[in-house]
């Protein structure tokens, strides 16, 4: 991977779950890291569910290796929020981390 191809600024957020005074779960997202990345769109799918079209975009991001990320986090790229499916390092000589994630657009037409 050439560092010059890392042309996207993305952010990783950690999910924090607390309880309010009624015992209900309150979910907040805490920013963990903002990094440079290269993005490759793998596939886009549209499905008909619950009488509306739901679109899903699956992408692969390559970032410099970090050990503080996990699949319970989310990835933010511009206006899109991605669910992380996999994180795996490339070979040890290169020190890159591959992140596979999907963005959903409920009700997209």
User: What would the mean pLDDT of 13-26 be, rounded to a whole number?
Assistant: 94
Domain count, the chain: 1
pTM recorded for the entire structure: 0.79
- Domain of 93: which CATH number? 2.40.10.270
What's the domain range around 35? 3-106
Percent of the chain past pLDDT 90, that is, above it, reads 62
Task: Provide the pLDDT for residue 69.
Answer: 95
Does the pLDDT of residue 9 top 90, yes or no?
yes
- Whole-number Å distance between alpha carbons of 88 and 6: 17
Task: Provide the pLDDT for residue 50.
Answer: 59
Highest mean pLDDT among 2-11, 43-52, 57-66: 57-66
Q: pLDDT of 93-104, one tens digit each? A: 668 999 999 986
* Displacement of CA 99 from its chain's centroid (Å): 7
């Amino acid at each position: 991977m050439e560092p010059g191809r890392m042309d996207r600024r993305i952010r990783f957020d950690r999910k924090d779950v607390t309880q309010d005074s009624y015992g209900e779960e309150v979910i907040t997202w805490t920013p963990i890291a903002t990094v440079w990345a290269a993005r490759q769109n793998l596939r886009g799918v549209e499905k008909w569910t619950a009488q509306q079209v739901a679109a899903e975009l699956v992408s692969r991001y390559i970032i410099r290796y970090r050990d503080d990320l996990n699949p319970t986090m989310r990835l933010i790229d511009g206006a899109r929020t991605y669910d992380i499916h996999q994180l795996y390092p490339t070979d040890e000589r290169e020190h890159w981390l591959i992140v596979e994630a999907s963005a959903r657009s409920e009700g997209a037409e």
